[in-house]
Amino acid sequence: MRWKALILISAVIGSNIPKSPWLGEPETRQDANFIIELENFEKLESHHQLILSKSITAKSEDYLLFHNEEYISVFDAKNGQVNSVFATVSNFRDISLRTFDKIQDPRAPRLKSYGTQPLFLPELGSSEASSVRARSSTNFFASDTNVHSFFLTLAVPQMLRSSKTINIAMIPHYRKNIAVGVKYFFTLENGDKTGIIVDVRENIEEQPYTLKSFVDDFASPIHFDSEYNFTESFSFSEYISKHQTNLSPWYPDQEWNRCGEAYPSKAENQCQCDDKCFDRKDCCPDYMTSCHDRPSFVDEECFSEENHQCPDSSFEKTTLLISVDGFRKDYLSRSEFIPTINRLRECGSTADFMEPSYPSKTFPNHYTLVTGLFPSQHGIVGNAWYDWKRDAQCSVFGVNDGPHPCNVNEMGYYGGDPIWNVAERHDMISACCLWPGNENKINGEIATYHWDYGIWGEKPYGHRIIQILEWLNLPAYSGSGPKEGFRPQFLTLYFDEPDKTGHSHGPYDTTGALDSALKRVDIHLQQLMDGLKMYNLDKCVNIVLATDHGMEEGLCENEIIMAPIIRNYDGKILEETYVQTKSTTTQIGNVRGTGNGSDFDIAKTIDAIECTQEQNNFRVFDKYNFPKRLHYDESPQIESILLLNDRFNKSTLNPRSNCNNEGYMGTHGWDSKYDGMKVPLTLYGPAFKKGVKLPSLQNVDIFKLLMETLQISEDSIKLMPEHMNRQITPFGQFHTVMKTPTNLPKAQALNQAAMTHKTDKSGHSIWYYCDKLEGCKPWYDQNLDKPFWWASFETQLLPFFFEKEIQWIQMGAAFDVTGGGVYQDPNVWTERSENKWCHRKISTTKVQWLPSHYYIVIKSKSNEIFSAIIPWRLAESHRYTPCHVVNEDEARATYVADFNCQINKLGLNWESSWMPWWEEQLELHSARILEVERLTTFGINIGQDNPIIDVQERTKMTSFGDFDRLFASVKDEPDSSSITTLSLFFLALIFM
C-alpha cells in the first residue's frame, strides 16, 4: 500500500507540478532525483523504511518527492515548505561545516529575517558528494537557530554506538511559515524506536557539562505509530535549566575573569583555588565548595532560631535588600530551578503575598520599596509621564532634549526620603548596587557607595556578588568621621531577571528560557550565600528578598485600539486631548504644552468611552474616582482621565501592523490586585524569627520593615516628618516576625460597640454601626439628594448581608476634599477666596459639601473583614457634582464614568437585582481598613484585643475573588463536591 501512494505522487510530478516559491522549474522537471521510475519505489521503501502519513497520501497532488541514496524529502509545494525527511544513516562525519552556523541555500530566498537550514545535515552523508546533495531546496526549512543541528550532533553519534544504521524521520512543525519544533523518529537495527519533539525556536550555547548529561540520558524508548503520533516533548533550554547543577555557577557570565583569576577556557572557568585569596579578601564565592569540598548553602540544614546569631556585634543591623525583577509569585512553583530561594524561604519567614503599587511598573515600585510612599506621592509615577506644571515629557530611561524637555535625575522628581539616606543620617553607611534612583542626590543626600546603572547595569551578575562581598569585608565604621572605606550596614542588590525573559517569553513559558533565567538568578544568590558562609557572615546579614511586580501574558490579539473607540463617538476629541498609551496603562489629558492638564472637556471624553467594559476590556475613570486602594490621583504628573485595563489587555492608540508576539509575550502594569502582579516576600537573617507566615501586605510596608532591621525608632529626630507623615503603613506591622522589635504596634482604642453614630470634627455624619437589620437606617442629612444606588443599598444589599449572618456593618460618608485619599476639613478650602464658587447652597443661609465617597466595613460570621470605599453619585440627572475636588493644583468637578453603568442597564429599576453590580463595585473599590481610617479621621476597632493582630488585620490586602465568599449565595453555585468534579473535568479537557 505504501508504494502505491508513491506511484500516485510520481504521476503528479510527471504531469502537472504545483508551483513553489522555493523550487525552480529546472530542479523540479529535470533533476534525476525526483522519482519518475516505478521500479525504484520498492528499493527506496526497503532502504529508508518510508511510511507516508495519511494526510500526505490524501492530498498527494500537493506534495513533491525528492530522493537520493541518503534521504527522501517530502516537499509541501502548496505551502512552499519541506513536510518531512526520511533517511538511513550509518555514520556522523565531522566535516568543515559547523553545525552552529546558519546555513543558507542559495536557491531558498529568506523568509522575512529568517534563514534556512537543512533537515538532513551534510554531516549525516556518507561522502562529500552526498553532503553536497543535502543542500537541495526540498531539504531546507525556515529557521535561523542552531537547536536542530545541535540535537542531531548529540543524538545520532550516541545511537550509532549501539546500532550500525539508524532510520530517521524528521517532521517540522510551522507557525507563520517558521519552524517552531521538529518531531524526530529513530528506529534502530534491533527494532527499538525512540521519538522526541524538540523546540527549535532559540539558539543555545555550547555547555559541555549539561550536554554530557543529555547524551547519557537520551534514547529511552517511545512507541510511535504509523502516523508518527506520540506526546513526548522536549526543550533544550528546559533540559539545560534542569541539568546545569554541574555547570559553572557564573553561566552565562563566563566572559569575565572571576575574582581576578584567569581561566583557560569557557569550559574550565571554575575557581582556580588560590589559597592566598583569603589574605586578599577576593576569593571566588564558590572557593570553599569548589576547592575544599564544603557543602553549599543549599545543601546544609537550616540554622535553628537560637543559633542564628552573628558572633560579631559590629554586624548588628546589617541589612541587604535584594530585588529579583519581575518575579511573579507563582514562579515559586518552578521549584527545581530556584533551590537557593527555596532554602531561604524554608530557613526564614515569608508573607502570604506582597502586592505592588499601581502602576505595577519597575521604577515606581522599586522606589516605593525604599521610601514607603506610593508613586503618586514620591514622584516616579511611571516609567514615563508628562508633567503639565513643568511642561515636561519625562522618562526614567533617558533625557528628553526635544519638545517638552525633561531630565528626571536633575529635576528633583525622586521625592520622599529613601531608606539609604535615612540610614546615613543615623550614623550608618549605605551601599546601593544598581537600585533605581540611587545615583541621585535626594534632599541633598546620597549613599556613600552607589553603582550607576548606566555604567554597571549590563555587566555580568558576578560583578555584583563580588562587590557585595567586598563591601561586607571592609572594616567596621565607628559611627563618626569620614565613611569612605568602611563597611556599610544597609545594602541593596538588583537583578534584572526574570523580568527580561518574562517579557520575551511570557510567564507561562514552556521552552525553558524562563526556567533558565530563574536558574541564573538563583545560582548567583547561591554564590552570595556561599560567599557569606565562606567569610563566616552567613549568620550576620539580614536579607529582605523582594521584587517590584509580577508578570502576565499580553498578546497582540488582546490589544485595545483606542483611536477608533474615541473616533466613533467624536473624532474631534483626538485633536483636543493627548492619549498616552503605555501598553497596560492609558491616560488622557490636555494637549501637551497648552496649560492646565484638566483644561479640556473631561465629561465629553469620558462619555466617548465609558461603559464599554464588555466590548473593550477596560474601565474609564476621572482620576479622583479611581479606586482609592490604588492611590493614584493627586499629582500633576497623572492625567485627568485614567483607564484601567482588564488583565491580559494592552492598549495602543492606533493599530500596529508590526505587532508580533514573538519576543514579547508578557508584560506588567495592570491593577496590582490581579494575582499575576503579586509577588513573594522572603525574610532571612539573625533579626528574623523562623517559619513565620505574615498576612498579605503591600510594598509600601517594606520601608517600616527596614526601619526594624536597622533599629531606627519611630521617635528619631533624624526622620523627616514631611515624608513620614504621608506614609500609610503603621508601625508594628512586622512585630510577629522580628526577634527584637524596635517599634511596637498600637491598636485602635475606640469601642465601637458602644455607639451607633458619629460625626467628624466638621459636623458631618460619617459613622453608622449596625449589628442587626432592624433599625439599621444609615441616612444622615435629608438636605442632600441620595446617591442613585441608595435604594438598592437599603432594600437589597443590607438585607442580604444580615441574611448571611454578618456580625456587624459599619458605613458612612467620606469627604476626599483634595482627591488624595486623606481627610482634610472642607471648610479650610472653602475659606480660600479663589474657591468660594465651590460652595453648594442647600438653602439661602446654609452651605453643604457633598460627600465624595461612601465606605463600608463588614465583619462576617467567619470573622473576615471586608471593606470598600465606593464613589458617591447623585441621581441620573446629575452628570457631575460641583465643588468636588479642590487642591493646590486645581479646583474642579469630577465625573463618575463607569461607576454608573448600572443605570444604562437597569435604569433605576429597584425590582431588578443589583447584587451582581454591588459585588463588582465592592471588589473593584475594595480598601484596606487603614485606608478607610485615613479618609475618615477615626479608627475602626475590628474587635481584636491583641494590638499585633489588630495592626495586621488593618493592613491586610485582598485579592480579586475574595468578595465571592461574602456574595456566595448570590450565584447559583454548585456545592464543593461539584466544584471539585468540574475542576477535574476541565483539567482533563486541558490535558486530553
Cβ of 800: how many Cβ atoms within 10 Å? 18
Nearest to 817 by CA among 925, 956, 935, 898: 935
What are the angstrom distances between the C-alpha of 203 and each of 237, 647, 792? 9, 31, 60
| Catalytic (active site) residue 362 | yes
SS3 26: helix
> Would you state the cell numbers that stand for residue 386, as one nine-digit string?
508628562
Q: Where are the beta strands (DSSP E) in 210-303?
A: 234-235
DSSP notation for 739-785: SS-SS--------GGG-SEEE-TTS-EEEEEESSSTT------TTSP
853 within 8 A of 887, measured Cβ to Cβ: no
> Quick one: which H or E segment has residue 29?
helix 25-30
Cβ of 407: how many Cβ atoms within 10 Å? 14
Q: What's the half-sphere exposure (Cβ side, CA atoms, 13 Å) at 524?
A: 30
DSSP notation for 388-435: TTTTEEEETTB-B-SSS-B-TTTTT---S--HHHHHHHTT--EEEES-
Catalytic residue among 145, 362, 511, 709: 362
Q: How far apart are CA 256 and CA 269, in angstroms?
A: 10
- Can you say whether residue 962 is alpha, beta or left, with left for phi > 0 and alpha for psi between -120 and 50 degrees? alpha
363 within 8 A of 395, measured Cβ to Cβ: no
Could you give the angle at the alpha carbon of 673 between the alpha carbons of 607 and 543, nearest 5°?
Answer: 145
Q: How far apart are CA 520 and CA 134, in angstroms?
A: 38
> Would you state the cell numbers that stand for residue 135, as one nine-digit string?
543542500
Q: How far apart are CA 850 and CA 975, in angstroms?
A: 44
φ, ψ at 195 (rounded to 5°)? -145, 155
Cβ of 631: how many Cβ atoms within 10 Å? 24
596 within 8 A of 890, measured Cβ to Cβ: yes
Cβ of 713: how many Cβ atoms within 10 Å? 13
SS (H, E, C) 45-64: HHHHCCCCCHHHHHCHHHEE
Q: How far apart are CA 914 and CA 795, in angstroms?
A: 10
DSSP notation for 678-704: -B--EEESTTBPSS-EEPPEEGGGHHH
Cβ of 662: how many Cβ atoms within 10 Å? 13
Q: How far apart are CA 280 and CA 409, in angstroms?
A: 37
Nearest to 561 by CA among 506, 616, 493, 631: 616
> Would you state the cell numbers that stand for residue 874, as one nine-digit string?
447623585
SS3 871: strand
Cβ of 564: how many Cβ atoms within 10 Å? 11
Bridge partner residues of 438 (DSSP): none
Nearest to 624 by CA among 609, 638, 605, 608: 638
Question: Which active-site residues does the annotation give?
Answer: 362
